Structure 1
Amino acid sequence: MPRLGPLGPRVLQPFDRREGLTTAQAAAVAGRTERRVRQWCIEHDLGRRVAGGPWLVSRVALAAFLNGDQQALQAYLSGDRRSPKVMQYFEAEGLRDLAERWQRISI
């Protein structure tokens, strides 16, 4: 997947820990190994290392990826936190308040 914009994909940006899963948690959700989840993070930009620490996986990006919803995933990675397609994933993950907060500020 090509990098989006000059800063790359906007995964977990702005950052709020509530959106992130550890690779172990993401592996359990996906029914895959942690190694596979880390590979997805690299290949599909589903997560990132925050402050040089371990991988954190976006709940929103992972859900869109697992549903095969490339349109929502691409929108999320480009920084979209407003469209109904992306909002449905924030809502499904119990994170509507994050998306609403980010809609009120310029991101």
Structure 2
Amino acid sequence: MTMKQAALSVLMRPEEVISLKEAVFRTGKNEKTIRRWCKEDGIGRRTSPGAPWEISAVALEAKRYGDVEALRSLRSGEFRSEHVHRYAKYLGLT
């Protein structure tokens, strides 16, 4: 059995960081699903194993819409990318 390698976390600006609880509220998904997305898709990070999840609201929206290009741009720190900008604008972050 092989374990899936965790994705490189997206880069996040302080104003877009939300908690696991907020991500659950926004998506209607359960905590287990959001934690899996954080690990597999890199939409969140933890500063240490026991620390709370910090989740990118922009990446969360991109994940919900299946926007792989936006997630790639976020991992590269391309916050002005057209793919990223549409989610930031939708969330009122621009």
Partner of 1:48: 45
Partner of 2:90: 92
CA RMSD of aligned residues (A): 1.8
Unaligned segments of structure 2, at least 5 residues: none
Please list, as runs of the form range in 1=range in 2, the aligned pairs for 1:53-92 lying within 5 A after superposition. 53-92=51-90
1:32 and 2:21 are equivalent in the alignment:
no
Q: What amino acid sits opposite 1:28 in the alignment? A: F
Deviation at 1:38, TM superposition (A): 0.8
User: TM-score, normalized by length of structure 2?
Assistant: 0.81
Partner of 2:20: 23
Structure-2 separation of matches of 1:68 and 1:36: 15
1:4-51 superposed Cα distances (whole Å, 9 cap, x missing partner): xxxx44432xx41x21111111011111111211111001001111x4
User: How many residues in Structure 1 have an aligned counterpart in Structure 2?
Assistant: 88
User: TM-score, normalized by length of structure 1?
Assistant: 0.72
Deviating above 2 A after TM superposition, structure 1's stretches of 4 or more consecutive aligned residues are 8-11
Partner of 2:11: 11
Seen in structure 2, the aligned counterparts of structure 1 residues 9 and 22 have a Cα distance that, compared at 3 Å, is closer
Quote the sequence identity (%). 34
Q: What amino acid sits opposite 1:33 in the alignment? A: N
